[in-house]
Amino acid sequence: MPFLDITVMPVPTANKAAYLEHSRQTTPFFKELGAVAVTECWGEDIPDGKVTDFKRAVALQDGETVAVGWITWPDKAVRDTAWEALMQDERMMALDMPFDGKRMIFAGFEVVAEN
């Protein structure tokens, strides 16, 4: 069953190009270790919620945009092995993140239905 790593993060709007470049630099590392696809999304229509929303989830500040991304893995075992390797990969560690990683939300999800 496919497995997804999903991230939600605040990115300075002026850093959109740097954010996309960061993705272009890291995607080969993920694919080298078995990822099927890497998807990046830039917030265009992020409504304010009554109880919670994407903006509050990442403590969005003026001049920032919510970005969402996911890595599709063939299964959780491949993902777990890949992340162990990635956390030791000097190429990955050498990259600067063009966003505030402390306000990034991330989690792994098992795909249970695709319609």
Distance CA 74, CA 2 (A): 5
d(CA 11, CA 19): 8
Give which of 105, 96, 83 is closest to 35, Cα–Cα. Answer: 83
Q: Assess if residue 86 is contained within a domain.
A: no
For position 58, which CATH number holds? 3.30.70.100
Instruction: Decide if 103 is inside a domain.
Output: yes
Does 77 fall in a domain?
no
Element (H or E) spanning 109, and its range? strand 105-110
pLDDT in tens, 44-68: 999 999 999 999 999 999 999 999 9
Q: In angstroms, rounded to a whole number, what is the distance separating the alpha carbons of residues 74 and 51? A: 35
In this structure, is residue 35 part of a structural domain?
A: yes
Decide if 70 is inside a domain. no
Q: Is 41 a domain residue? A: yes
Tell me if 13 is assigned to some domain. no
How do residues 29-42 score in pLDDT, each as one tens digit? 999 999 999 999 99
**Number of domains into which the chain is organized:** 1
Residue 106 and residue 79 in contact, taking contact as beta carbons nearer than 8 Å: no
CA distances (Å), 23 to each of 46, 53, 64, in order? 22, 24, 18
Domain assignment present for residue 43? The answer is: yes
- The pTM of the full predicted model, rounded to 2 decimals, is 0.91
The residue range of the domain holding 31 is 20-65+91-107
**Predicted confidence (pLDDT) per residue in 15-34, tens digit:** 999 999 999 999 999 999 99
